[in-house]
Structure 1
Amino acid sequence: MLFSVEAENGNLEGLRKQDLSDLGFLERQNLQEWAIEQPQILGEDLLIITSEYANFEDTRDRLDILALDQAGKLVVVELKRDRADRTTDLQAIKYASYCATLTAEDVQKDYREFWSSREDTELTPESVGETFIDFIGEPDSLTTSSDGWAEFELDQKPRIVLAAGSFGTEITAPVMWLIEEYGVDITCRRIEAYEHQGRVLLNSQQVIPVAEAEEYMTKRREKQEKQQQRSRRPAAINALLERKVLRPGERVRFDPERVPGNANQDWNEDDDFWWATVTGDTGQSDNVRWDHDDELYSFTGLTKEVLHELVGRDRDEALNGYKYWCHPDFDNRTLSDLRNSETTGADRGDEPTSNK
């Protein structure tokens, strides 16, 4: 139960829980829209891929919301405005089985289609790929394909989130059994509504698994994520250094073709603003030293800084920095191109030019 306290006199008032249906709210037009616009109502930061998803072969079923969590796992979300009915868990399991066959490129295409239509714009594969890389949180570890899509692995076990006004034993009993006996990753969240002074207050609370079980499951997920991270391709900087495409002390240049048309200065080969020196380090922000200010950055961090100075671009916007820097010793190919190829240091030009 929620309580309201008047600041002036300290009077306490209990607020009675109400069904969303009694307050005139609808499942799709309201609850679903709230979850799309504010995924935190589901208890965590999620990247919403699509809603009313129906790209399942030989079925007309529609998934309420498909999302991605920051560990790079798909999340199947099933919403019920009031009490979850007895088939809610089965619906979600069915949708999870359908989504288990999706690839990273599949979900990015679905994201592009959904958000392009929703925001009445045309997202490019490159902008979508950068959004996914930035959300997963490994901008210098993940790369993009030649088409612009982010390259990462999706496992075959999507998570399930059930969100409803209440849950009966016909849902809680099988969910707990699936969690405890088979390790299925299912979360039940109760979304309660309270009317107070002309506003409706929402309280989102996780009811399954309980806190003690969640701690255990979190540790197990962390172990699985670490195992998955070890199986991923090495970070771009590591791969380029290991293959001796990059060597400590040599210089790379900003791609002239990537300079924005409205930049406040022109590209000039003799200007240190457009050059950076490789450090040989592989931390998160010490891979390259900008010749312009002698400060250390990651390639992505440096690119964001360059574009911010050129056109005031928001430093928080996603991008793949390796696409913006060229290596003079490899016919000025971008570092992204070199990372995604089989190129090694043995393929350098006869006359190195990057250490000028």
Structure 2
Amino acid sequence: MYKVDLKSKSAKKLKPIRFKDLELKEKFDIEVWVRKNPEILGENLLIISEQTLLPSGRQPDLLALDKSGNLVIVELKKDDSGKEVYWQAITYAANFSEFSYSDIIDMYEKYLENLGIADPNPKDKIEEFVEEDIEKINQKQRLILVSKEFHPDVLRAVLWLRDFEIDIKCIRLTPYMDENNQLFIIPEVIIPTPGVEEYIERKISKQKTIRKSYPSPFSLEKGDFTDEELKKRLKETLTRESDLTPRLIAFIKILLSDNRIFDREEIKRRLYNMGIGKNLGQTGRYLSNISQFLTKKSTPHLRQIIEFQMPRGVEGEVKDNYKVVDKYRELVKEVLKEIGEEI
């Protein structure tokens, strides 16, 4: 980087320095710069959270939304990325992938409150910023890693992850200081390499075409089992070792509590009242996991027993209006009793 004097028509080369030499810290310096000026990262982002505490005790540096409604996890380091920064960011993305739109709004509202900004309707601000259909919010997560230098292991891992369609970017922030102690910051995207995005997109498109030849785990096909086989399969499902099993049992108990259709919101509230989830947002994510399980190719017996609505009938669509098929209500109750569950 050069500092040019227009009067003398001379250029003086500035030497890069280390953030450490300036006694800067991620949270109180670099993080604040990015929070106040997210365009440093090379795109238009709406910062919605800072240092959000996860159940694990970890705190991602910044969370943002891009114009497409994708959740962007920003992880900042000072002079060296270390070897584990990409894994840390992936862990955060996995945690936040289950957040609903209401969770995003709550997070943004708390963020504004912490900054002392009174906004009566943060939802409007998000919907004004995002250019895509609001239902697409957080359907995809992106990762941005920011550091002065990146460990070679991190760069290799990031390139490999991008091959598998993980949207992850590395930005180098290089600080310079002039003779007047003025600080300059140069952001540089090093992955993906500028100018080759089109090639990468073509490569990903080709990989998608190849992967489409592999069967999807999604199915709406219902089973046609005898009562005996149905009981056997249901019993196996409700006794398998999985965190999902007790939640699925609670879900079925709700459907058996009355011979009618239950909408998603009522089921979510009742699951929460049964102790499924620490808050309604988490309960909603658990319900989504149950719904996804209902449409796996391996669970046609559940679709034979439980009806639900999916207007378009496509993978990823939100399900609603669940009901146990009348002729199987007693069969399901018998299975629950056999595995020691009270109805």
TM-score tier, shorter chain, comes to: 0.5 to 0.7
Distance in 1 (CA, whole Å) between partners of 2:2 and 2:22 is 19
Higher helix share: 2
The residue that corresponds to 2:108 in the other structure is 111
Gaps of 5+ in 2: 209-343
Distance in 2 (CA, whole Å) between partners of 1:84 and 1:61 is 17
Pick from 138, 149, 164 the counterpart of residue 166 of structure 1: 149
The residue that corresponds to 1:199 in the other structure is 182
The answer as to 2:64 corresponding to 1:70 is no
The residue that corresponds to 1:47 in the other structure is 46
The residue that corresponds to 2:308 in the other structure is none
Tell me if the contact between 1:96 and 1:157 (Cα under 8 Å) persists in the aligned partners.
no
Distance in 2 (CA, whole Å) between partners of 1:85 and 1:177 is 17
Tell me if the contact between 2:177 and 2:184 (Cα under 8 Å) persists in the aligned partners.
yes
Q: What displacement does 1:119 show?
A: 1.9
The residue that corresponds to 1:135 in the other structure is 129
Tell me if the contact between 1:21 and 1:81 (Cα under 8 Å) persists in the aligned partners.
yes
The residue that corresponds to 1:213 in the other structure is 196
Higher strand share: 1
Tell me if the contact between 2:69 and 2:131 (Cα under 8 Å) persists in the aligned partners.
no
Distance in 1 (CA, whole Å) between partners of 2:139 and 2:171 is 23
Tell me if the contact between 2:25 and 2:78 (Cα under 8 Å) persists in the aligned partners.
yes
One-letter code aligned to 1:153: K
The residue that corresponds to 1:258 in the other structure is none
- In the superposition, relative to structure 1, how do residues 220 and 45 fare at CA in structure 2: closer, same or farther (>3 Å)? farther
One-letter code aligned to 2:92: Y
Q: What displacement does 1:116 show?
A: 1.6
Tell me if the contact between 1:163 and 1:189 (Cα under 8 Å) persists in the aligned partners.
yes
Spell out, residue by residue over 1:20-58, the C-alpha distance to the aligned partner (whole angstroms, 9 max, x if none).
11122211100001111000111111000101011x33x
TM-score of the superposition, structure 1-length normalised? 0.54
One-letter code aligned to 2:125: T
- In the superposition, relative to structure 1, how do residues 202 and 77 fare at CA in structure 2: closer, same or farther (>3 Å)? same
One-letter code aligned to 1:206: V
- In the superposition, relative to structure 1, how do residues 38 and 131 fare at CA in structure 2: closer, same or farther (>3 Å)? same
Spell out, residue by residue over 1:65-118, the C-alpha distance to the aligned partner (whole angstroms, 9 max, x if none).
111000110001100011101111110011011111011111111000111221
Q: What displacement does 1:220 show?
A: 8.8
The answer as to 2:10 corresponding to 1:11 is yes
One-letter code aligned to 2:70: K
One-letter code aligned to 1:211: P
Query: How many equivalent residue pairs?
Result: 206
Distance in 2 (CA, whole Å) between partners of 1:155 and 1:50 is 14
Gaps of 5+ in 1: 143-150, 225-356
Distance in 2 (CA, whole Å) between partners of 1:213 and 1:8 is 39
Q: What displacement does 1:195 show?
A: 0.3
SS of residue in 2 equivalent to 1:188 = strand
Distance in 1 (CA, whole Å) between partners of 2:155 and 2:106 is 34
Tell me if the contact between 1:86 and 1:171 (Cα under 8 Å) persists in the aligned partners.
yes
Spell out, residue by residue over 1:289-332, the C-alpha distance to the aligned partner (whole angstroms, 9 max, x if none).
xxxxxxxxxxxxxxxxxxxxxxxxxxxxxxxxxxxxxxxxxxxx
Tell me if the contact between 2:165 and 2:204 (Cα under 8 Å) persists in the aligned partners.
no
TM-score of the superposition, structure 2-length normalised? 0.56
Tell me if the contact between 2:2 and 2:14 (Cα under 8 Å) persists in the aligned partners.
yes
Q: What displacement does 1:221 show?
A: 9.6
The residue that corresponds to 1:154 in the other structure is 137
